[in-house]
Structure 1
Amino acid sequence: MEKIAVIGGGSWATALVKILSENKSQIHWWMRNENDVQHLVNYRHNPRYLSGVTMDLNYVKPTTDIADAVAVADWVILAVPAAFVQQALAPLHKNAFKDKVLISAIKGMIPNENILVSDYLERHYKVPNSHQLVVAGPCHAEEVALEKQSYLTIGSHDIATAEQFCELLRNRYVKANPLDDLDGIEYCAVIKNIIALACGIAHGLNYGDNFQAVLVSNAMLEIERFLHSILPMHRDLSGSAYLGDLLVTAYSQFSRNRTFGSMIGRGYSVKSAQVEMNMVAEGYYAVESIYELNNHLKVDMPITTAVYHILYERISPAVEFEILKDKLR
């Protein structure tokens, strides 16, 4: 029986716990809130997210002690928002991940440092790239909960390790495949959340399907330019881990980034949208990191720039999109 620590109590963490525990892995599930842990023990479901999913406590061991959860595991999945990674991992010793495989299910960057989660783990916890994986979609937690057919891509520099983890995920409604582009998948996952914000803003401003299609197709070109600048290598961006993940995040009713963007487009302030959603939209933090990185790279990224201006410089969404629409082709 594989021993896996899952760090995080949100919807994506819950979906991964469901998949892995149903495949008979032993899950040590760290959740920050003691009341949530107790609720899970008593009623076998997460009270805050995907509450319709029932957990088998023979395989799921909830805890608020992150050190204990990590210590007994061979695999450690990080599924907290990127902005809270440092806080969540703070109780751990710098050698806590020695000889373990770290899997990032986080689609964001570490704020202030403006680095990927994989780079943060290597820099602060000495986890080599060969012991790191990243989970990419296209896949929404809500559809996993409903057991709708889903696809996952596991990015890694070590295909054999990625394939091992794929085996732990595969079931009748989840297909998983390895891909040797850990960093490219991470960056694409970060930027697609920014694009989803832009799509939401456009929807909130009452732009139609024609504009949305042009926005997304231009977004793929923007992602390609950025990846070529920061991580040049041959990659087929029409694959599921890139284009597929972008499409589901840009268009789905389950996309929290699209929802957040739509609220901004309809006139909500950033703070009021965050309070009403009660969920973290990774794109809000990601756009600042990518924008600041691009101050050095000088890549043409009009969509990212527009979203940054709206969220951080408080420029009117209507005004900013009037400028943006003339830059799209």
Structure 2
Amino acid sequence: MRTRKIAVVGGGSWATAIVKMLSDNDREKTIYWWMRNKETVEYIRQYRHNPNYLSAVEIKLPAKQITDNLLQVIQESELIVLNVPAAFLKDAMHEVKSEDLKGKYIISAIKGIIPDENQLVGDYLQSAFGVPIEYIAVISGPCHAEEVSLEKLSYLTIASDSLDTATTFADLLDTRYIKTVLSDDIYGTEYGAVLKNIYAVASGICHGVGFGDNFQAVLISNAIREMARFLANVHPINRDINESAYLGDLLVTAYSQFSRNRTFGNMIGKGYTVRSAQLEMNMIAEGYYASKCIHQINKTYQVEMPICRAVYAILYEKHSPHIEMKLLAELLT
């Protein structure tokens, strides 16, 4: 098999985990890694660790393949893994033109929606850069970067309209601690990854205001039904909502100690403002931005989504978390 040239775009924990997975895979490849911060680039080149995320992971890439020059890594690569927060993707890609991505395969590891446009990343790539849908794939869980760094057995779903595209990238991630599953439900898995972050915020809020495990179980069982209703409206195909890409990803994000969305929600439930929670975490909780986007998108579909509605009311309408969660509890079954 020929050597693949892959670019990983982003410098956070999930991007670091993806670099590790690709490096540990035994297929021939060249990996380029872009991040915005020049100081971080120089640190990783010298010390072989990301100082800000998953600092125990050894970075095995040659120094020249770690850079803050995005156009360079795009030009050098045939597969590009996008892993910057959805809210900042347009800014990160502002110098990139359609011709720069022509013939490139784009894999989105972004579990969010592009604000303003309220578009999935796949839709944004098609409309802004003309990337054909068959050249796009989406990575979904259930999988936390922290457990990848510890090499704990994890599963990833690679979804694409093209089986060849999904298979190609799945083969590059497969290691002794990573198992991959293929899917053709690119829209369902991408929307599911967005929604599970909102439900994880709800889970954290409930914990923060004092609800226990019993209520959490009811909340999440309602959340998967809410997700199923939404997906059936926005992309009505035959899917099993209990598969790992949907239910599994929801469960790990709602319950895990590593879930930044759950942590963010927990802080909101305890009385933090959105801004103070974001500053203290120093990490992006995609569920915050996703809540507003899904609220806007659902104005078109009018799906019954009481959990998403409650999270939006707390985060954007400044409703009391205690009162909103008590009202929500009356609606759940």
Aligned counterparts of 1:113 and 1:217: Cα–Cα separation in 2? 30
Distance in 1 of aligned mates of 2:207 and 2:34:
36
Q: Which residue pairs with 1:109 in the alignment?
A: 113
Q: Among residues 55, 68, 80, which one is paired with 1:64 in the alignment?
A: 68
Give the letter for the 2:185 counterpart.
D
Structure 1 runs not aligned, ≥5 long: none
Query: What is aligned with 2:12?
Result: 10
Aligned residue in 1 for 2:265: 261
Distance in structure 1 (CA, Å) of the matches to 2:63 and 2:135: 24
Match of 1:67, SS? helix
* CA distance, structure 2, for counterparts of residue 60 and residue 134 of structure 1: 28
After TM superposition, which residue ranges in structure 1, 4 or more long, deviate above 3 angstroms?
A: none
User: Per-residue deviation at 1:91?
Assistant: 1.2
Of 136, 143, 165 in structure 2, the residue corresponding to residue 139 of structure 1 is: 143
Query: Which of residues 60, 73, 79 is equivalent to 2:77?
Result: 73
Alignment correspondent of 1:129: 133
Match of 1:45 among 44, 49, 59: 49
Q: Which runs of 5+ in 2 are unaligned?
A: none
Q: TM-score under structure 2 normalisation?
A: 0.97
Equivalent runs, 1:163-312 vs 2, <5 Å: 163-312=167-316
Shift of 1:25: 2.6
Shift of 1:57: 2.6
Q: Hey, what's the Cα distance between the residues in 1 that align with 2:201 and 2:9?
A: 26
Distance 1:294 1:129 in 2: 23
Q: Matches of 1:151 and 1:124 in 2, distance apart?
A: 31
Give 1:33's match in structure 2, choosing from 37, 46, 55. 37
What TM-score results when the alignment is normalised by the length of structure 1?
0.99
Residue aligning to 1:160: 164
Once the two structures are TM-superposed, the CA of residue 94 in structure 1 deviates from its matched residue by 2.1
Residues 45 and 63, structure 2, Cα contact 8 Å, conserved in 1: no
Shift of 1:266: 0.4
Q: What is the count of residue pairs matched by the alignment? A: 329
CA change 1:48–1:153 in 2 (3 A) is: same
Task: State the 1:164 CA deviation.
Answer: 1.4
CA offsets 1:274-296 (integer angstroms, 9 cap, x no match): 00000000000000000011112
Q: Deviations over 1:234-284 (max 9, x none)?
A: 100100101000000000000000000000000000000000000000000
Are residues 153 and 60 of structure 1, via their aligned partners in 2, closer, same or farther at CA, if it must alter by over 3 Å?
farther
Q: Distance in 1 between matches of 2:82 and 2:284?
A: 15
Q: Which amino acid in structure 2 is aligned with residue 21 of structure 1? A: S
- Contact kept, 8 Å, 2:31 with 2:61, in 1: the verdict is no
Name the stretch that deviates more: 213-222 or 16-25.
16-25
Q: Distance in 2 between matches of 1:179 and 1:263?
A: 35
Residue identity in the other structure for 1:247: L
Distance 1:146 1:153, change over 3 A: same
Matching residue's letter, 2:99: N
Provide the rounded CA distance (Å) in 1 between the counterparts of 2:182 and 2:172: 12
RMSD of equivalent CA atoms:
1.0
Question: Identity across aligned pairs (percent)?
Answer: 55
Question: Residues 60 and 220 of structure 1: is their aligned pair in 2 closer, same or farther, counting only changes over 3 Å?
Answer: farther
What does the per-residue CA deviation read over 1:23-60, in whole Å, with 9 as the maximum and x for residues that have no partner? 25311100100000000110011111001001113498
Amino acid at match of 1:183: Y
Q: Structure 1 residues 232 and 60, CA, compared in 2 at 3 Å: closer, same or farther?
A: farther
